[in-house]
Amino acid sequence: MSNNYRRCAGAIVFNKEGRVFLGKRIGVDGAWQFPQGGIEDGESIEKASQRELFEETGISSVTLIHSETTPIRYSFPKIIKENLAKKGRDFAGQDIFFSLFYFNGNDDEINLLADEQEFDEYKWESFDFAINNIIDFKKDVYVSIANKFAPLISQYLKHLT
């Protein structure tokens, strides 16, 4: 079994109502998640987060608020490891670095077909909704990042008014 964890960047985007952007994964019933993807060689956490955000959602009108420098590790369940192995990938899970962005655009810029489609729907929701609608093996990750980022969102929105 591999102990290889893929470096990954996640983008949490919030709007002026303090809601976070979630996409519903294609082919996974009821699984809503934040945009995320692999960090390329030489790429910063912030750049990887912005690239993945744009590739998966078309969103570019954002202001960086904060980036985590310590990853949150999660392991893949057996079925995902088996599916990755069929594609020649040997990952035990991911080390995900989250960045927090304020969305200063309009929803009409959102394009789930911007690159390779990963989501078939999106919505702006609460962290509680995100935690309750993520696949089980990522639930602890979402609880942890919500605890870190919810106060930053509140703080930022207070300064906007």
Question: Which pLDDT value is given to residue 28?
Answer: 78
The tens place of each residue's pLDDT in the chain, 161 residues long, gives 457 999 999 999 999 999 999 999 997 777 899 999 999 999 999 999 999 999 999 999 999 999 999 999 999 999 888 988 898 888 999 999 999 999 999 999 999 997 778 999 999 999 999 999 998 999 999 999 999 999 999 999 999 87
CA distance 143 to 131: 6
pTM, two decimals, is 0.93
Residue from 11, 49, 19, 18 nearest 155 by CA: 18
Question: Which pLDDT value is given to residue 95?
Answer: 97
Q: With left for phi above 0 and alpha for psi between -120 and 50, is residue 27 left, alpha or beta?
A: left
**60-75 burial: b if 16+ Cβ within 10 Å, else e:** eebeebbbbeebbebe
- H helices, E strands: number in the chain: 4, 8
Cβ burial, residue 138 (10 Å; 0-12/13-18/19+): buried
The tokens of 13 are what? 């985007």
Residue from 56, 62, 59 nearest 24 by CA: 56
Question: Which pLDDT value is given to residue 1?
Answer: 44
CA distance 85 to 99: 29
Give just the sign of the alpha carbon dihedral 59, 110, 127, 80.
Answer: negative
